[in-house]
Amino acid sequence: MLGLLKLNWLLCSFFIVVGLTSAQPKNPFGNPLVPDMIADASIQVIDSVFYCYATTDGYDKGLETSGPPVVWKSRDFVNWSFSGCHFPSAVGQKYWAPSTAVAANGKYYIYPTINEFMYAAVADSPDGPFKLLHEPDTFYLPYTPATFLKPKGSEPPQGIDAEIFIDDDKQAYVFWQRRHAARLNADMVTVDTSYTTIPTPHQEYSEGPIFFKRNGVYYYLYTLGGDEKYQYAYIMSRISPLGPFEFPENDIIATTNYERGIFGPGHGCVFNLPGTDEYYFAYLEFGRGSTNRQTYVNKLEFNDDGTIRPVDLTFDGVGALYQITDEKKITVVNSRASSICPDLIIKYMKDSLFRRTESFVSQFAFDGANGSRWVASPDDNDCWIIADLSKILTIKRSEVYFVRPTAGHAYTLEHSADGKTWTICGGHPDVKVQSPHVDNLDIKARYFRVKIQEGVKGIWEWNIY
Ligand code: CA
């Protein structure tokens, strides 16, 4: 009897230990802004809607390529979505750092770096479709006559990473890589050719400029370094966008935080909630190495003298900035999948103190964090994931945020009362480029299953309402 009890105890211990170790892999990526890999984000509010234009990362070829141009939108800053590409002729090109959609002349202008040269594009709506300002609306290598800055003799056009700023007097300025700046003419496409260089106390390589004005003070933020050594510094002017500048003593406002494991806060943006003194700083982080970056947002705060406080970098996000709904998603505490991709130990690029391992368990599709994901094994050709709601519930909606959504997905959604007999209730057989994929339902069920037919076999988040 004692032996049997002991055996039972041992078996229980075994299952508890196995349960704990398999149920609690860590998510070292926290909760980035959107459930995808994006970098060089420019965020703005248009008619109470947040727009996020960015570089689409996660295509596994380093700087050789990028994902297509899309614009993520949100009404509350928590739930984000995009549908299709907003710049058709730029699909298939290397598309970086599009800047915000600048409203002028009754139109919207963006200034992406395409195949490593800046171009100006225009649309009637911030949703696009954008096209090049100069016909023909097409691209070829190394660059076309439509580049934003023009070649000088045999020298190719300068620079990447345009940042546009329009002052209160309507004069527009453009800032770009290596501390360059110029006045932009009223047509929003030709540039005063007397370029200037912003004088900064730090002289190493710089890109990703950020420019904004608050309480009559102009702020110029510029990056230093790159990869896990990326950081942001700033200078300010009370006179004009092109100076003369003041050089605050504590001018590094974002740098690697070893304690919190946040590496290389780089190219992002500053944005303001209209009608308030609330400012936010968005930045990419080098947690997955190379061009597998995700973008995070923290508050940007100022001292009374107008200087910027070092940003309190966190992976937690800032939550809802506008409250639009109190709809609560169902907490999914049990899930399983056809397979789980083995852990990935991420190699560092510049900082040997960098340590990070990514796990891909099914529960990461239900943890409310945009930095964690379920990914199937590479050889799983019939992959699925099941959400177990613990009891039969009436379900109104399913929203699936697949991994690498800009390459498109086809899938089926099924439901079941017992986990054995399944009925199709959603999905689509054709590949659609969007995120999330939404199925409106009115179904009583305990289990839901997604089978991925086309597209990357993984899910960042699956929300069930
Ligand atoms: Ca997740």
- Burial of 373 by CB count in 10 Å (0-12 exposed, 13-18 middle, 19+ buried)? buried
Q: How far, in Å, from the CA of 361 to the mean position of ligand 1?
A: 10
Q: What local confidence, expressed as pLDDT, does residue 12 receive?
A: 37
Q: What is the pLDDT of residues 254-313, one digit of tens each?
A: 999 999 999 999 999 999 999 999 999 999 999 998 999 999 999 999 999 999 999 999
**Assigned superfamily of 38-300:** Glycosyl hydrolase domain; family 43 (2.115.10.20)
Which residues neighbour 47 within 8 Å (Cβ) at sequence distance 6 or greater?
none
Q: Residues 212-223: what's their mean pLDDT? A: 98
- Please give the average per-residue pLDDT across 107-111, as a whole number: 98
Q: Kindly tell me if the per-residue pLDDT of 149 is higher than 80.
A: yes
Tell me the CA–centroid distance for residue 34 and ligand 1, in Å: 11
Q: Quick check: 411 and 456 in contact, CB under 8 A?
A: no
All CATH 2.60.120.260 domain ranges of the chain, comma separated, are: 334-464
Average pLDDT (21-29) is 78
Ligand 1 centre from 295 Cα, in Å? 15
CA of 422 to the centre of ligand 1 (A): 25
Which pTM value belongs to this model? 0.94
* Domain at 334-464, CATH from 2.60.120.260, 2.30.30.90, 3.40.630.30, 1.20.140.10: 2.60.120.260
Q: Are 176 and 96 in contact (CB under 8 A)?
A: no
Distance, CA of 384 to CA of 321 (rounded, Å): 34
Q: What's the pLDDT score for residue 17? A: 37
Cβ proximity of 68 and 85 under 8 Å: yes
Question: How many Å lie between the centroid of ligand 1 and the Cα of residue 251?
Answer: 34
Please tell me the distance from the alpha carbon of residue 87 to that of residue 89, in angstroms, as a whole number: 6
What is the Å distance from ligand 1's center to 435 Cα? 14
| Position 5 pLDDT exceeds 70 | no
Q: Report how far ligand 1's centroid is from the alpha carbon of 117 (Å).
A: 35
Q: Which of these ranges, 202-206, 285-289, 459-463, has the smallest mean pLDDT? A: 285-289
The proportion of the chain whose per-residue pLDDT surpasses 70, expressed as a percent, equals 95
- Cα(320) to ligand 1 centroid in Å equals 17
Ligand 1 centroid to residue 448 C-alpha, Å = 17
Please choose, from the candidates 179, 210, 218, the residue with its C-alpha nearest in 3D space to the C-alpha of residue 197: 179
The pLDDT value recorded for residue 134 is 83
pLDDT category of residue 409 using cuts at 50, 70 and 90: very high
Mean pLDDT score, 143-148: 95
**Interval between CA 294 and ligand 1 midpoint (Å):** 13
SS3 98: coil
The answer to whether residue 19 scores a pLDDT higher than 60 is no
Distance 455 CA to ligand 1 centre (A): 18
State in Å: Cα 365 to ligand 1 middle: 4
pLDDT band at 14 (very low <50, low <70, confident <90, very high): very low
The pLDDT tens digits for 357-403 are: 999 999 999 999 999 999 999 999 999 999 999 999 999 999 999 99
Q: What is the mean pLDDT of residues 309-336?
A: 94
The pLDDT assigned to 18 comes to 37
Cβ atoms 232, 252 nearer than 8 A = yes
With a CB cutoff of 8 Å and minimum separation 6, the contacts of 274 are 45
Write out the residue limits of the CATH 2.115.10.20 domain(s) in the chain.
38-300
370 Cα to the center of ligand 1, angstroms? 5
Angle, vertex CA 276, rays to CA 274 and CA 280, nearest 5: 80
Per-residue pLDDT at 15: 37
pLDDT of residue 11: 39
Burial class of residue 367 (count of CB atoms within 10 Å of its CB; 0-12, 13-18, 19+): middle
Distance 404 CA to ligand 1 centre (A): 14
- Between the CA of 426 and the centroid of ligand 1 the distance, in Å, is 22
Give the end-to-end CA distance of the chain in Å, rounded to a whole number: 49
pLDDT at 20 over 80: no
Over residues 113-145, the pLDDT tens digits come to: 999 999 999 999 999 999 998 889 999 999 999
61 CA to centre of ligand 1 in angstroms: 24
Does pLDDT of 46 surpass 90? yes
Residue 23 binned pLDDT confidence (cut-offs 50, 70, 90)? low
Residue 414 near residue 460 (C-beta atoms within 8 A): no
What residues are neighbours of ligand 1 (ion), with CB under 5 Å? 364, 367, 369, 372, 461
Quick check: 195 pLDDT over 70?
yes
**Can you give the pLDDT at residue 325?**
84
Concatenate the DSSP letters of all residues of 383-439 into one string: -EEEEEEEEEEEEEEEEEEESSGGG-EEEEEEEESSSSS-EEEEEEEEEE-EESEEE
Tell how far the Cα of 73 is from the centroid of ligand 1, in angstroms: 19
Residue 427 alpha carbon to ligand 1 centre in Å: 20
